[in-house]
Amino acid sequence: MVEKRGSSYPRVRRIGALLVIVLAVLVVVIIFTRGDEQTGSAGDASTTASTTAAESDGEGRVVRIDHGDPRQERRVVITIVEDYTCEACAAFAEQYRVVLRSLVTTFDAAVEHVPVAADDDAAALRLANASLCVADDTIEDWMAFRSAMFDLGTVGGGAAMVADQQLVRIAQATGASHSVTACIVENRYAAELEAATARWSSAGVELPHIEINGEPYEPSTPADLSALVRGQ
């Protein structure tokens, strides 16, 4: 089964639904203002990103962050399998976000994020579904929403307490349109997320699971990852 790695960061205990939502929205505002979590902008043709639809073999969906034409084959594809309620996944996302962005924008690399919901966690499934909904709606600011989902998922009880309409509000705070509402409320991608989770569960991986051109990579340091990728 897919297992979440232990984290050296202590889990913050339950603090109440309202505070969790306020925290998530605040993080979105800070990230959006800072601008370093944007994958591109509507007027910047040099930086694009795409959501890749599920393949017929049931492997689920990936969110592909690319530079230029996302249909072009890249020398290196970095795959990140992640669960928004996984503390180790959140720590990896924070620690490696700068180097991953650099590899996408300055090297012939793409990053594919594969959301899953380990341990049959319904709350994790809802966060992952919302993430895919936002990716389909407004890929330019998807990274900001992803960060907010990690904040919700790794604050004690946050993922379980957040309501669909609150997820919608957070999505809209990152730039999503009103059409994202139905996708989130319907849990539209639940079946595909369950298929992706089952696929990685059968492989017995721990999260976050990283692959470089299909080969497993054990995270060490951002500098080590950069050197390995650029040496391909």
pLDDT along the chain (232 residues), means of 10: 56 53 62 55 44 51 81 89 96 95 93 92 94 90 90 79 88 90 96 92 92 95 96 87
Crossing angle of the two packed helices 17-34 and 142-154, in degrees rounded to 10:
150
Q: What local confidence, expressed as pLDDT, does residue 87 receive? A: 94
Q: What local confidence, expressed as pLDDT, does residue 216 receive? A: 96
Task: Calculate the alpha carbon distances from 184 to 56, 125, 128, 165, 191 in Å.
Answer: 23, 11, 10, 8, 13
- pTM score, whole prediction: 0.83
Q: What local confidence, expressed as pLDDT, does residue 68 receive? A: 72
Q: Taking CA 173 as the corner, what is the angle to CA 169 and CA 179, rounded to the nearest 5 degrees?
A: 60
Q: What local confidence, expressed as pLDDT, does residue 208 receive? A: 96
Q: What local confidence, expressed as pLDDT, does residue 47 receive? A: 44
User: Which regions of 83-226 does DSSP assign to beta strands (E)?
Assistant: 109-115, 206-207, 209-212, 215-217
- In this structure, CATH architecture of domain 14-44+68-230: 3-Layer(aba) Sandwich (3.40)
Residues 6+ apart with CB under 8 A from 10: none
Task: Give the pairing type, strands 209-212 and 76-82.
Answer: antiparallel
- What is the Cα gyration radius of the chain? 16
Tell me how far apart the alpha carbons of residues 108 and 120 are, in angstroms, rounded to a whole number: 36
Hey, is 3 helix, strand or coil?
Answer: strand
